[in-house]
């Protein structure tokens, strides 16, 4: 598939998410689950959030990309005028956008599945045991592997672009046309991702390590380890 076809496919999946419907009870439950997971991720990767070189990039991933709340205006823009965006922005940037969108959507789909499974258990404070029961679904395991694989691959894509002076120069040149064409959210989102990752010595290595740590935790959860989230080395 071309970058445009990939983006269209992921956009269709994105707008099919239940969170975009009119169900405040489901949305409140989903947010409660994601807030719990967000805190867990910050605790697990606290060392990266304390390192000046990686702090801003990891915070961007955990708060803006993971939660998916920043993606709605971006997705609306792309859906409204995808052919124009494909002509205006470099193809490699759009391919990276598609990869990032797939990772974010898969994350949201998994979160929604757990929310539906736990249902009214999410109307009260979420305990670790309740969370683990929702997470530990055999039919989700391959998707969770795919999710982490996408995160690791995305780091290497970003590395290539951040280090490419020519690509960044081209990207900077289309800032005004992109804003004028109604792609300010998309452009600013990509610009922010490049900027926050710039200080990281290797985004590829960073996201590989982050994904490997999460994979170890995932395996511990599925193996019924008594303390799967305890600090450990991978």
> pLDDT band for position 51 (50/70/90)?
very high
190 SS3 class: helix
DSSP 102-171: HHHHHHHHHHHHHHHHHGGGGGSPPPHHHHHHHH--GGGHHHHHHHHHHHHHHHHHHHHHHT-HHHHHHH
pTM of the entire predicted model: 0.87
pLDDT in tens, 147-168: 999 999 888 888 887 788 887 8
* Average pLDDT for 73-94: 80
Cα 38 from chain centroid (whole Å): 12
Instruction: Please enumerate, as own/partner, the contacts of 126-134 that have beta carbons within 8 Å and a separation of 24 or more.
Output: 126/32, 126/33, 126/36, 128/229, 131/33, 131/36, 131/37, 132/221, 132/228, 134/33
Q: According to the model, what pLDDT value does residue 138 have?
A: 95
Within 10 Å of residue 101's Cβ, how many Cβ atoms? 24
Q: Are 100 and 189 in contact (CB under 8 A)?
A: no
pLDDT (0 to 100) of residue 67: 63
HSE-up of residue 113 (Cα within 13 Å, Cβ side) = 16
pLDDT of residue 88: 76
Mean per-residue pLDDT over the chain, rounded:
88
Q: What is the pLDDT of residue 47?
A: 94
Please write the tens of the pLDDT for every residue from 17-44: 999 999 999 999 999 999 999 999 999 9
The mean pLDDT of 44-57, rounded to a whole number, is: 93
Give mean pLDDT, residues 203-217.
94
Q: What is the pLDDT of residue 234?
A: 41
Two tokens, residue 48: 């990266």
**So what's the pLDDT on residue 233?**
45
pLDDT tens string 91-147: 777 787 788 888 888 999 999 999 999 999 999 999 999 999 999 999 999 999 999
The number of angstroms, rounded, from the C-alpha of 15 to the middle of its chain's C-alpha atoms is: 16
**Who's near 59: CB < 8 A, 6+ residues apart?**
49, 196
């Amino acid at each position: 598939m071309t970058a445009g076809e990939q983006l269209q496919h992921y956009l269709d999946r994105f707008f099919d998410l239940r969170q975009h419907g009119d169900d405040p009870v489901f949305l409140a439950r989903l947010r409660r689950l994601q807030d719990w997971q967000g805190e867990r991720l910050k605790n697990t990767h606290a060392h990266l959030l304390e390192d000046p070189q990686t702090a801003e990039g990891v915070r961007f991933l955990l708060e803006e990309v993971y939660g998916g709340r920043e993606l709605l205006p971006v997705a609306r823009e792309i859906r409204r005028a995808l052919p124009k965006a494909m002509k205006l922005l470099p193809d490699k940037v759009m391919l990276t956008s598609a990869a990032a969108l797939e990772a974010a959507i898969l994350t949201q789909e998994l979160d929604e599945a757990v929310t539906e499974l736990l249902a009214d258990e999410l109307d009260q404070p979420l305990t670790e045991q309740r969370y683990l029961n929702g997470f530990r679904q055999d039919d989700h395991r391959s998707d969770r592997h795919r999710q982490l694989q996408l995160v690791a691959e995305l780091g290497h894509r970003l590395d290539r672009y951040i280090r490419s002076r020519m690509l960044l120069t081209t990207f900077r040149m289309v800032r005004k046309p992109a804003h004028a064409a109604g792609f300010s959210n998309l452009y600013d989102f990509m610009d922010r991702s490049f900027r926050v990752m710039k200080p990281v010595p290797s985004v590829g290595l960073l996201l590989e390590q982050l994904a490997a740590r999460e994979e170890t935790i995932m395996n511990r959860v599925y193996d019924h380890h008594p303390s799967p989230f305890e600090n450990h080395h991978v």
